[in-house]
Structures are given as C-alpha cells and as structure tokens.
Amino acid sequence: MNQGFAVGLLALLCLLPEAPALAASRAMWTWEAESYAMVEDPAVADEAIAYLKSQKVDTVYLYADAYRGRNLIVEQPQLYRAFIEKLHGKRMKVYALLGSAYLNTENYVLPDYREQAEAMFRRVVEYNASVPATARFDGANLDIEPHILDEWNDSTRLRLLHGFLDMSAAVMRIKREHGATLAVGPAIPFWLDGIELEWNGRTRPVSEHTINIYDYVALMDYRDKAEGSDSILSHAASEIAYANEVGKKVVIGLEVSSNDIDKVTFHEEGPKVFEQEVRKVERALRNEPSFDGFAIHHYRAWRRWAAQYWE
C-alpha cells in the first residue's frame, strides 16, 4: 500500500464517529410463582417474553426447583424444554435460578443440608444432559444467602461463610464431574469483600474465594446511584478488579423492589433515574474484561414498579 495513501486513510478513519458500544446484557431474577406460570402456560410465556424484550432484558434467571409440593423440572421437564426453546428462539438466554425462601435454602450452607444443596444443582445438570442443546439452561444462578439465617451474627458468620464456600465447591465439583458447560455463579452481597476468611489454607476476602470457585458472581450491588461514596461503582470496584485478574465475570445486581432503606433500591427514583444511573455504570465499566452486564431484582417487582410510571 502506498505510504501516503495509508496515512490519508488513517486520518479519514480518525474523523469517523465512534461506533456506539453494544448495550450491556440485562438479566432478571424471576421467582417461583412467575417462573412456574411461564413454564406451564404458553400464553403467559409469550406475553412475558414480549414484555421482557421490550424492557431490554436478554437473560432470564428462571426458577428451577420445587414449589408448593411440585418440582416441574423433575416431574414435567418437557415444560421447561418448551419454554427454554422458545426463549432461545427469541435470542434470549436462560439461567436456572436455584434458591428459595419457600424452601428456606439459606440452610443449604449447613453441613446437615449439603446433600439437598447438591441434589438441587444435580437436577439441573441432569436435565441439561437429557435435552438437546436448544433446550438447555445456559447457566445457573444460586441464591443461597447465609446472612439471612437466624443464627447469623458476628460470632457465627465465619463458620457460616465457610459452609457457603464448602457448598459452592461441592456444586462446582458436580459440574466438572458431569462435564457440564453451563456458566454457574451465586448472588452475593457486595460487602463480602470486607470479610476475610481462611479457607483451604488461604486467607483472603470471602468475595475473592467465591470468585475463584465459580464462573461468575452476580453482585447484589443494591444502591440507587452510580457514582461517589456508597455507590454502585464504589461497591463493585474490588470485585471487578479481582475478577479481571483471575479471568472471571461479574454481573451487577440492582434492586427495584420497595424497601424501607431508600438507598438500596430504585423504587422511589423510577425508571428514568434507573436508566441514567445504569448508563453511568455501563460507561465506567464497559472496558473492564470482567464486567458482564446487569441483573435486576425482580420480575414481578419490576412490572409493578414500571407500571406506576406508565399510568
């Protein structure tokens, strides 16, 4: 290529407008009743998919365990297969949401409940192995939170967090043993980076142990502003930096449910402020290798919240 032509071409390219960055992925936690309704009723499924796409959601954290005496992923797996295939047909991803207030799964960090925790995850892995690729879960999200146990306090938290890490290691061992490829990660509070714990001979923040174990973490980064002190970005900084180092992913979790503590949710601020703050976070993190979009808590709350501002 002629050197003068190359220099001219480079100068021209520099004058072209920068291509807009692709919007970050948005996942939404979808709990028991809503997930079962979508899985069981094609009309509910179609309406939900259309709604989620209109809200720029491309990933559904779909509950996939027992509820009110039934366990559809075991008893009627064809229902999950049909719904997941439908979501994939709309270019959406599906993660199995595991963890439930109904089942009190916070207990799963306790040794006496380890067998139940492993069985919960193994059912998803076995489901994936039994269906074609078009019907498989793309990932799993574990919402097992030891800090909501009644026995959680300053004197018990290290033991309970140790149990959480042991449970996590057991889950990932099942993934490896089955040769499963789905991305697996937990929902964790941002403040785990402030608790150091010795586990498997290494002392480090619990957040780092957790990132080391899993493929990704969904960071429950529940604040209603992007920047400054006590903000989404400030609380995600250490997890993003560490995940960059070790080649893992971080999804930023945001809350829209009502809460007595205003700063943990966008409930009072509304969708316009939510979108403004999300864009700030996206601009700040878009070049970070570990940043993997957002997860919003949760489907029913979002619909009620958003509807208030449309009326």
20: Cβ contacts below 8 Å, ≥ 6 apart = none
Tokens of 148: 């909501």
Kindly tell me if the per-residue pLDDT of 125 is higher than 60.
yes
Say how far apart CA 168 and CA 117 lie, in whole Å.
9
Average pLDDT of the chain is 94
- pLDDT for 3 equals 52
pLDDT of residue 88: 98
- Rounded to whole angstroms, the Cα distance separating 152 from 257 reads 24
Cβ atoms of 281 and 25 closer than 8 Å:
no
pLDDT in tens, 188-235: 999 999 999 999 999 999 999 999 999 999 999 999 999 999 999 999
Q: How far apart are CA 6 and CA 3, in angstroms?
A: 5
- What's the DSSP call for residue 156? T
Backbone angles phi, psi at 254, to 5 degrees: -130, 150
Write out pLDDT tens, residues 33-42: 999 999 999 9
CA 142/CA 135 separation, integer angstroms: 20
pLDDT digits (tens, 9 = 90+) for 285-300: 999 999 999 999 999 9
- Quick: pLDDT tens for 46-94: 999 999 999 999 999 999 999 999 999 999 999 999 999 999 999 999 9
Which residue, chain included where needed, has tokens 């959406």? Answer: 92
Specify the amino acid at residue 35. Answer: S
Per-residue pLDDT band for 21 (boundaries 50, 70, 90) equals low
Kindly state the percentage of the chain with pLDDT values over 90. 92
Distance between CA atoms of 17 and 66, rounded to whole angstroms?
52
pLDDT of residue 310: 73
The whole-model pTM stands at 0.93
Distance from the Cα of residue 54 to its chain's centroid: 20
Burial of 88 (0-12, 13-18, 19+ CB in 10 A): middle
Residue 11: band (very low, low, confident or very high) from pLDDT cuts 50, 70, 90: very low
Cis-peptide, bond into residue 267, ω within 30° of zero: no
pLDDT tens-digit readout, 133-152:
999 999 999 999 999 999 99
Closest to 88 measured CA to CA, from 135, 45, 39: 135
The alpha carbon dihedral of 33, 82, 76, 136 has a sign of negative
Tell me the pairing of strands 291-297 and 139-142: unpaired
Residue type (1 letter), 163? G
